[in-house]
Amino acid sequence: MDEWSGRKWEPVTEERLLRAIDVLVGIAKEHGSTFDPVLETVRQELHDFRSRHQSAADVSQKPEVSLRIAG
C-alpha cells in the first residue's frame, strides 16, 4: 500500500478504464466470482465514460444554424 501513497491522481481515461477491466478480469479468473461486482462497476463506468464523451463529440460536431430575420 505504501507504493500508492506517492502516486499522483490523474484524470480517468478510456485507456485507464480498459486496463482496470483487464486487471479485474485476471483477478476474477484467479479468485472466482468474488470480484464480479467490482468488475461490473468498472464496466459500467466505461460505458458511462464513452456515453459522456460521445455526447460531447456530437454537440461539438453539430453545424451552426444561422438565424435569418424575417422581413
Residue 12: name the closest of 37, 57, 45 by CA: 45
Residues 55-66: what's their mean pLDDT? 64
Q: What span, in angstroms and rounded, lies between the C-alpha atoms of 9 and 42?
A: 17
DSSP E strand stretches across the chain: none
pLDDT in tens, 13-53: 888 888 888 888 888 888 888 888 888 888 898 899 889 88
